[in-house]
């Protein structure tokens, strides 16, 4: 095992950056990369390590970029013999099997509002190795005792949240606040400055009010379409712990879009549920 690759893989995981690890898992005959030879391919196309170089490596790089786009790994066989049907331009004469392991960027959540739903949600996140930071303008609601596993506990006025944190660091923003006006301040800044998933916990009336205010401020329908409300998979969740489960389930669904949803015998179809805003308190 190459220590440089291990360190870089850990760095990418901590930075919430997806990558593909390409590894020789079988080799027959004369080949440049022996079993265990590995290469990391980053989203920008740069690499670390080698599986043998030349035409083989270039083809695997192309496959790795496709894996990053599709979020799916693969296992490929290569004949390193230019004279064989399907062989790559090589005179080595052997063959290799390359495993392409897609390593997703694990979520890093920014949560506004340290109420009941936030507390229930953050009980689940560490078990999935999802990172999170919690922000509120009430110091006692973002204490270390309340959120011991948070990367950051931020006490900040709603309007100044994105002056204190770098939005691009986070994969998800959840507005789980206790005050609709303050949620609106965060949301107004988020539609312009937060580049990824935005989730708002709200009743239909609260959502309609906030969206009307944003339209009045000149926010486009395209920008509003980025806001997910209600949050989570529609599983009929009502209590804070149930809403937390629905949020985590939606994130897992995002991470594995290619896998079919299986329902048990007798399960009912999912129903759309609008979460009342007072459950966040």
Task: Give the CA distances from residue 76 to residues 27, 85, 157, in Å, rounded to whole numbers and listed in that order.
Answer: 12, 16, 53
CATH number (domain holding residue 215): 3.40.50.720
- What pTM was estimated for this model as a whole? 0.76
What is residue 270's DSSP assignment?
A: P
Please check whether residues 57 and 118 belong to one and the same domain.
Answer: no
CA–CA distance, 209 with 180 (Å, rounded to integer) = 9
Please check whether residues 95 and 140 belong to one and the same domain.
Answer: no
Please check whether residues 169 and 57 belong to one and the same domain.
Answer: no
Please check whether residues 171 and 269 belong to one and the same domain.
Answer: yes
Tell whether the model's pLDDT for residue 223 goes beyond 60: yes
Please check whether residues 210 and 242 belong to one and the same domain.
Answer: yes
Least Cα distance to 188 among 216, 165, 168 occurs for: 216
Least Cα distance to 242 among 147, 124, 112, 106 occurs for: 124
pLDDT over 90 percentage in the chain: 63
Please check whether residues 241 and 261 belong to one and the same domain.
Answer: yes
Domain boundary among 56, 84, 103: 103
Please check whether residues 118 and 91 belong to one and the same domain.
Answer: no
Domain boundary among 57, 82, 103: 103
Please check whether residues 91 and 153 belong to one and the same domain.
Answer: no
Structural domain including 37 reads: 3-103
pLDDT band at residue 275, thresholds of 50, 70 and 90? very low
Q: What is the pLDDT of residue 176?
A: 93
In whole angstroms, what separates CA 156 from the centre of its chain? 25
Between 88 and 163, residue with greater pLDDT = 163
Please check whether residues 82 and 114 belong to one and the same domain.
Answer: no
Please check whether residues 92 and 154 belong to one and the same domain.
Answer: no
Domain boundary among 103, 134, 154: 103
Please check whether residues 70 and 138 belong to one and the same domain.
Answer: no
Task: Give the CA distances from residue 18 to residues 3, 43, 77, 169, in Å, rounded to whole numbers and listed in that order.
Answer: 19, 7, 24, 13
Q: What is the pLDDT of residue 131?
A: 95
Q: Is 150 exposed, middle or buried (0-12, 13-18, 19+ CB in 10 A)?
A: buried
Please check whether residues 222 and 147 belong to one and the same domain.
Answer: yes
If one counts the domains in the chain, the total is: 2
User: What is the tens place of the pLDDT at every residue in 4-26?
Assistant: 999 999 999 988 899 999 999 99
For the segment 32-58, the average pLDDT, to the nearest whole number, is 90
Instruction: Decide if 279 contacts 238 (C-beta within 8 A).
Output: yes
Computed over every residue of the chain, the mean pLDDT equals 87
SS3 63: helix
User: What is the tens place of the pLDDT at every residue in 163-182?
Assistant: 999 998 999 999 998 899 99
């Amino acid at each position: 095992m190459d220590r440089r690759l291990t360190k870089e893989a850990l760095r990418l995981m901590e930075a919430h950056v997806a990558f593909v690890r390409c590894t020789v898992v079988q080799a027959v005959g004369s080949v440049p990369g022996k079993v265990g030879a590995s290469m990391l391919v980053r989203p920008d196309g740069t690499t670390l390590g080698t599986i043998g170089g030349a035409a083989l490596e270039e083809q695997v790089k192309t496959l790795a970029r496709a894996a990053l786009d599709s979020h799916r790994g693969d296992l490929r066989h290569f004949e390193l013999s230019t004279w064989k049907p399907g062989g790559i331009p090589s005179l080595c004469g052997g063959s290799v099997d390359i495993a392409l392991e897609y390593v997703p960027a694990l979520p890093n959540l920014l949560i506004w509002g340290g109420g009941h739903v936030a507390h229930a949600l953050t009980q689940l996140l560490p078990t999935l190795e999802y990172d999170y930071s919690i922000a509120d303008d009430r110091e006692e609601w973002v204490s270390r005792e309340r959120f011991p596993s948070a990367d950051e506990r931020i006490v900040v006025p709603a309007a100044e949240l994105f002056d204190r944190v770098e939005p691009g660091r986070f994969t998800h923003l959840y507005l789980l606040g206790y005050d609709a006006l303050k949620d609106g301040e965060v949301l107004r800044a988020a539609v312009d400055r937060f580049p990824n998933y935005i989730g708002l916990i709200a009743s239909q009336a609260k959502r309609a009010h906030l969206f009307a205010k944003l339209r009045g401020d000149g926010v486009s329908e395209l920008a509003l379409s980025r806001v997910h409300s209600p949050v989570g998979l529609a599983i009929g969740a009502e209590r804070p712990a149930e809403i937390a489960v629905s949020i985590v389930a939606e994130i897992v669904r995002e991470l594995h879009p290619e896998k079919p949803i299986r329902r048990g015998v007798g399960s009912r179809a999912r129903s759309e549920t609008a979460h009342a805003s007072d459950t966040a308190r």
